[in-house]
Amino acid sequence: MYAHPIKFLELLNGQVQYVVPRWQRRYCWGQSDIERLVDDLVTIAAAGSNATHYGGTLLTFPDPGAAGVVTTIRVVDGQQRLTTVSILLGCIAAELGEAGECDGWTRQIILDDRLTNPGKPSEKRRKLRLQDGDEEEYRRGLEDDSGGAGAVSQAWRIARRLVARHDVALLLRGLDRLRVVSIGLDDKEDPQQIFESLNATGRPLTESEKVKNWLLMGLPDAEQQDLHDNHWLRILYNTGARVSEVTGLQAGDLQIGLRNGRHALVTLRGKGGKIRQCPLWPRTEDILAELVRGRSDGDAVFLSRHRKPYTRFGVYRLVERCAARVPPLAAKAITPHVVRHTSACHLLQAGVDLNTIRAWLGHVSLDTTNIYAEIDLQMKAEAMALCDAGQSVPDQPWKEDKSVIAFLNAL
Decide which of 76 and 80 is more confident. Answer: 80
Q: What is the predicted pLDDT for the residue at 384?
A: 42
Residue 150 inside a domain? The answer is: yes
Catalytic residue among 36, 54, 263, 271: 271
Catalytic residue among 129, 173, 269, 340: 340
Q: What are phi and psi of 109, to 5 degrees?
A: -65, -45
Q: What is the predicted pLDDT for the residue at 299?
A: 87
Highest-confidence range of 129-143, 153-167, 259-273, 292-306, by mean pLDDT? Answer: 153-167
Find out whether 92 and 163 touch, Cβ atoms under 8 Å: yes
Angle subtended at Cα 21 by Cα 335 and Cα 209, rounded to the nearest 5 degrees: 85
Q: What is the predicted pLDDT for the residue at 168?
A: 92
Is there a single domain that holds both residue 157 and residue 229? no
Angle subtended at Cα 249 by Cα 248 and Cα 250, rounded to the nearest 5 degrees: 115
**Residues whose CB is less than 8 angstroms from the CB of residue 216 and which lie 6 or more positions away in sequence, other chains included:** 21, 22, 23, 224, 227, 228
Is there a single domain that holds both residue 199 and residue 227? no
Q: Is 337 a catalytic site residue? A: yes
Q: How far apart are CA 112 and CA 360, in angstroms?
A: 54
Quick: pLDDT tens for 353-397: 777 777 778 776 666 555 555 544 454 444 444 444 444 445 566
* DSSP label of 88: H
The answer, as to whether pTM is greater than 0.85, is no
Residue 211 inside a domain? The answer is: no
Q: Is the model's pLDDT at 106 over the cut of 90?
A: yes
Is there a single domain that holds both residue 198 and residue 227? no
Find out whether 33 and 156 touch, Cβ atoms under 8 Å: no
Quick: pLDDT tens for 34-70: 998 998 888 888 876 666 766 777 877 766 555 567 8
Give the pLDDT band of residue 279 (cuts 50, 70, 90): confident
Is there a single domain that holds both residue 226 and residue 106? no
Q: Is the model's pLDDT at 289 over the cut of 70?
A: yes
Q: What is the predicted pLDDT for the residue at 404?
A: 61
Is there a single domain that holds both residue 225 and residue 195? no
Decide which of 246 and 293 is more confident. Answer: 246
Catalytic residue among 242, 269, 295, 358: 242
Give the pLDDT band of residue 160 (cuts 50, 70, 90): very high
Give the pLDDT band of residue 18 (cuts 50, 70, 90): very high
| CATH code, 279 | 1.10.443.10
Q: Is 372 a catalytic site residue? A: yes
Residue 148 domain boundaries: 2-204
Q: How far apart are CA 317 and CA 370, in angstroms?
A: 29
Residue 112 inside a domain? The answer is: yes
Q: Is 107 a catalytic site residue? A: no
Is there a single domain that holds both residue 150 and residue 237? no
Residue 408 inside a domain? The answer is: no
Average confidence score pLDDT of the chain: 76
Residue 111 inside a domain? The answer is: yes
Quick: pLDDT tens for 189-233: 555 455 555 554 444 444 334 434 444 444 455 655 555 666 777
Catalytic residue among 293, 337, 346, 380: 337
